């Protein structure tokens, strides 16, 4: 501290005000979040989950660690976790307006029906089964890329964008995805 006092000089200070860029700070924060390990990040999520009325005392910590590992690629600040809770927690699940628009399109509804048929006869979902599931959905629907994945994402997550589907499906599981797709087909 004494050394700092000795080296300090008013003549080295600038008269202009410091510039803070919120965008730069958010970018820096997103890097900080991405470098966190899943377990460390899941601990940072706890206050936000409590605030959202999710019973953290009843949560499987491995499940929470998996969620945090998936979401860290999509977060700029921790408070954004609220935007993604519906993907993983049924009590917070809902269809956003953009997702409802996608789901109400007639061609997308046909795609969802075909996807539902594929899911009903498929095995349990894992990260390893995603390529096979995707190939089956493409074959059954005749669609690829966004025309296939946009209605699928909207149906199982209630959102138009978010974490990678390949990472989400093992956490959602087959039964939950089937249930959500049936809910999506009820949207008019």
pTM of the full predicted structure?
A: 0.82
What percent of the chain clears pLDDT 70, i.e. is strictly above it? Answer: 98
Whether 36 shows a pLDDT value over 80: the answer reads: yes
pLDDT band with cut points at 50, 70 and 90 for residue 135: very high
What pLDDT score does 17 carry? 67
pLDDT recorded at residue 123: 78
CATH topology of domain 97-185: Arc Repressor Mutant, subunit A (1.10.10)
Q: Which two tokens stand for residue 168?
A: 């989400």
Q: Mean pLDDT, to the nearest integer, of 159-187?
A: 93
Extract the tokens encoding 95: 């269809």
**Which candidate, 48, 41, 98, 32, places its Cα nearest to that of 66?**
41
- Per-residue CA distances from 54 to 66, 69, 111, 120, 132 (Å): 16, 19, 33, 29, 34
Domain locations in the chain as residue ranges: 23-92, 97-185
Q: Alpha-carbon distance 11 to 16, whole Å?
A: 13
* CA distance linking residue 144 with residue 78, whole number of Å: 33
**Average confidence (pLDDT) over 177-187:** 93
Quick one: DSSP state of residue 96? -
> In this predicted structure, what is the pLDDT of residue 86?
93
92, two tokens: 């917070």
And the tokens for 71?
């979401």
């Amino acid at each position: 501290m004494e050394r700092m006092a000795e080296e300090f000089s008013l003549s080295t200070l600038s008269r202009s005000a410091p510039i803070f860029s919120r965008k730069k700070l958010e970018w820096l924060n997103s890097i900080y979040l991405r470098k966190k390990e899943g377990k460390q990040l899941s601990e940072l999520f706890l206050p936000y989950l409590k605030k959202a009325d999710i019973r953290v005392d009843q949560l499987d910590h491995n499940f929470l660690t998996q969620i945090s590992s998936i979401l860290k690629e999509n977060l700029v600040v921790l408070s954004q976790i609220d935007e993604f809770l519906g993907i993983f927690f049924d009590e917070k699940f809902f269809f956003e307006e953009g997702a409802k628009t996608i789901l109400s399109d007639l061609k997308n509804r046909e795609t969802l029906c075909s996807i539902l048929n594929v899911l009903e006869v498929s095995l349990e979902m894992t990260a390893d089964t995603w390529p096979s599931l995707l190939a089956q959905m493409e074959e059954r629907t005749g669609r690829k890329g966004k025309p296939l994945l946009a209605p699928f994402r909207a149906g199982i997550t209630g959102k138009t964008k978010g974490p990678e589907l390949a990472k989400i499906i093992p956490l959602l599981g087959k039964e939950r995805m089937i249930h959500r797709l049936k809910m999506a087909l009820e949207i008019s």
